[in-house]
Amino acid sequence: MQPRSRSVQARRCAALPRLGRLRAPSPRPVATLPAPMSAISDPSAPLAPRVRFAPSPTGYFHVGGARTALFNWLLARRLGGRFVLRIEDTDRERSDPAWTEGILSALTWLGITWDEGPFFQSERRHLYDAAAKRLFAEGRAYACDCSPEAVRARTEQRATPGYDGFCRDRGLAFERGRALRYRVPDEGMTVVHDLVRGDVEFQNATIEDFVIVKSNGDPLFVLAVVVDDLDMAITHVIRAEEHLPTTPKAVLLWDALADGRPLPAFAHVPVLVNERRQKLSKRRDRVAVEDYRALGYLPEAMVNYLALLGWSPADGREVLSREEMIEEFRLEDVLRSPAFFDERRLLHFNGLYLRGLSQAEFIEHARPFLQGEHVPWAPGRFDASVFAALAPLVQERAGTLGEVPGLVAFLFVEPFEPDADAFAKAISSDVGAGPILQATIAALESVEFSPAALRQAIEEVAERAGRKLGKAQAPIRVATMGRATGLPLFESLEALGRERTLERLKVALGRLGSL
């Protein structure tokens, strides 16, 4: 199978209106046991894929998981299929409902909605037990009482890694305290037909007799995944590349349990990596979706950026609405190499989306960052109408919503305290600053507090000081706004008002004089 060649076809079809959508779905790959298409009883099934996103609640939800969820979601939406959410919490030691909450809220925030679920594997135990019992009864799996230590000790003696099949023919009964292992064929190969990578071959001899039920009776994910994918009639398994090595095991189990039902199509998408090109890790890398939300990234920007990691639309556009992504998304166009999660680029997209908001939308989005728990000013100091007046200027400059409070803090933080470094640079160490502050105070006593009038007054101050406006406004800006950069000065002073402006200028001048 040549995935890339199919995508040529996809693009040509897409060029013809409507035809792209009617294009037949990806060929249904079959593994060791070929299964006929007719095995699907529902004739509409091939056109209505069922995908699943199956995170394990063992840590916060990171952007890599979000990207995988997004690809699943895009495929389901494009082909009119169903997106199933399944929580893989078979590991009772590490799973925590709190993490599940985080996953659900992050997906919701991103607008990745699920059609079915969330299903919890912890509530489906009977299905895995039944499958295990069947595999054991049919001789496809056997009980094993080797301790992990014993297995490891024996493995170290041998050249080949993995379990050595010690219990294969001991005929042990399947009971508590014993694990269940799948009897992998010694010969032959298992082929994974992957929509992203093509055929990947695994020699069965290199696959150990893997555990499918722990000695405490809990199922292992390999078994649970296959049982659920079968039970939920999943047609496309889209997941991260790290799952590729376990896929032949899943294929083997599928063949043993599916009663001829065709294998789902597999698509192993590349992992997201950090700057050292290692797989993004919850422990190493600070990449929780919730963190980006808290920093003031917009979900639309995040989704747009994430979609472009490992995928790009045929026409090369980069700014895509959700609808456009759905329309353009092709699994066959997903790349095979890992992508670096670049916050700089995310920031760029965020700025684009922030500026694309209407003024009202922007104000609405900024509200939680201005009136929430962690604002830099005392509660109650915030004045929504003052902010609204400056909002367009803020919107133009903010890269994230989290930057918004900093841009308007000078209006609401009392007592006001200019940044020490900025004060030192623009006022203390500038011999011309004193006279300018002095002249500005005099000029602003009576001038109308409108941007135009303020500009004219300060231009005159600058001229008398023999400076360009840009140089003259620096000490005024630091004295009144506390920072060397930020919102335009005249609009800011208008919002601040005459009284506070003059007071701050005088305080700055006084501080200069007492140095």
> Which range in 69-77, 328-336, 433-441, 504-512 contacts RNA by CB under 7 A?
328-336
Answer yes or no whether residue 8 interacts with RNA by CB under 7 A. yes
Answer yes or no whether residue 466 interacts with RNA by CB under 7 A. no
Answer yes or no whether residue 146 interacts with RNA by CB under 7 A. yes
Report the nearest approach of RNA to the CB of residue 223 (Å): 9
Q: How far is CA 239 from the centre of its chain?
A: 14
Q: In whole angstroms, what is the distance from residue 168 CA to residue 170 CA? A: 6
Instruction: Name the residue with tokens 């998304």.
Output: 329
Report the nearest approach of RNA to the CB of residue 157 (Å): 13
Q: How many residues bind RNA (CB under 7 A)?
A: 95
Report the nearest approach of RNA to the CB of residue 94 (Å): 5
Q: What's the token pair of residue 400?
A: 């994230």
Answer yes or no whether residue 429 interacts with RNA by CB under 7 A. no
Report the nearest approach of RNA to the CB of residue 137 (Å): 20
In this structure, are residues 487 and 474 in contact, taking their beta carbons and an 8 Å threshold? no
Q: What's the token pair of residue 364?
A: 């609405």
Q: Which of 336, 345, 324 is nearest to 74 (CA)?
A: 324
Answer yes or no whether residue 406 interacts with RNA by CB under 7 A. no
Residue 444's SS3 state is helix
Catalytic pick among 133, 282, 425, 471: 282
> Which range in 43-51, 140-148, 364-372, 439-447 contacts RNA by CB under 7 A?
140-148
Residue 84's SS3 state is strand
Q: In whole angstroms, what is the distance from residue 403 CA to residue 399 CA? A: 7
| Nearer CB in complex with RNA: 210/297 | 210
Report the nearest approach of RNA to the CB of residue 472 (Å): 8
Answer yes or no whether residue 160 interacts with RNA by CB under 7 A. yes
Answer yes or no whether residue 220 interacts with RNA by CB under 7 A. yes
Stretch 85-124 residues interacting with RNA (CB under 7 A):
88, 90-91, 94
By CB under 7 A, name the one of 351, 405, 475, 482 that touches RNA: 351
By CB under 7 A, name the one of 204, 312, 428, 456 that touches RNA: 312
Half-sphere exposure of 109 (CA within 13 A, CB side): 23
By CB under 7 A, name the one of 132, 487, 496, 505 that touches RNA: 487
- Residue 288 DSSP label: B
| Nearer CB in complex with RNA: 165/488 | 488
Answer yes or no whether residue 198 interacts with RNA by CB under 7 A. yes
- Cα torsion through 483, 487, 492, 493, rounded to 10: 50
Which distant-in-sequence residues (6+ apart) come within 8 Å of 209 by Cβ? 142, 144, 163, 165, 168, 181, 182, 183, 184
Q: Which of 29, 30, 25, 16 is nearest to 46 (CA)?
A: 25
The neighbouring-strand residues paired with 273 are: 279, 340
| Nearer CB in complex with RNA: 45/298 | 298
By CB under 7 A, name the one of 336, 367, 498, 511 that touches RNA: 336
By CB under 7 A, name the one of 108, 113, 147, 321 that touches RNA: 147
Stretch 10-39 residues interacting with RNA (CB under 7 A):
11
| Nearer CB in complex with RNA: 45/99 | 99
| Nearer CB in complex with RNA: 204/438 | 204
Stretch 240-259 residues interacting with RNA (CB under 7 A):
241-246
By CB under 7 A, name the one of 53, 333, 363, 509 that touches RNA: 333
- Cα torsion through 415, 421, 424, 429, rounded to 10: -160
By CB under 7 A, name the one of 62, 78, 183, 197 that touches RNA: 197
Vertex 478: Cα angle to 476 and 484 (nearest 5) = 115
Answer yes or no whether residue 475 interacts with RNA by CB under 7 A. no
Answer yes or no whether residue 382 interacts with RNA by CB under 7 A. no
Answer yes or no whether residue 140 interacts with RNA by CB under 7 A. no
Report the nearest approach of RNA to the CB of residue 392 (Å): 10
Task: Dump the DSSP string for 305-330.
Answer: HHHTSS---TT------HHHHHHH--
| Nearer CB in complex with RNA: 224/263 | 224
Secondary structure in 3-state letters for 184-226 = CCCCCEEEEEECCCEEEEEEHHHCCCCEEECCCCCECHHHHHH
Q: In whole angstroms, what is the distance from residue 35 CA to residue 419 CA? A: 71
Stretch 281-300 residues interacting with RNA (CB under 7 A):
none
- Cα torsion through 194, 251, 231, 261, rounded to 10: 90
Contact flags string 258-277 toward RNA, x per CB under 7 A:
------------xx-x--xx
Answer yes or no whether residue 216 interacts with RNA by CB under 7 A. yes
Answer yes or no whether residue 309 interacts with RNA by CB under 7 A. yes
- Residue 415 DSSP label: S
Total number of residues shown for the chain: 515
By CB under 7 A, name the one of 168, 279, 506, 511 that touches RNA: 279
Annotation says 425 is catalytic:
no
φ, ψ dihedrals at 84, nearest 5°: -105, 130
φ, ψ dihedrals at 510, nearest 5°: -60, -40
By CB under 7 A, name the one of 101, 123, 138, 396 that touches RNA: 396
In this structure, are residues 310 and 334 in contact, taking their beta carbons and an 8 Å threshold? yes
Q: In whole angstroms, what is the distance from residue 173 CA to residue 178 CA? A: 9
Active-site annotation, residues: 282
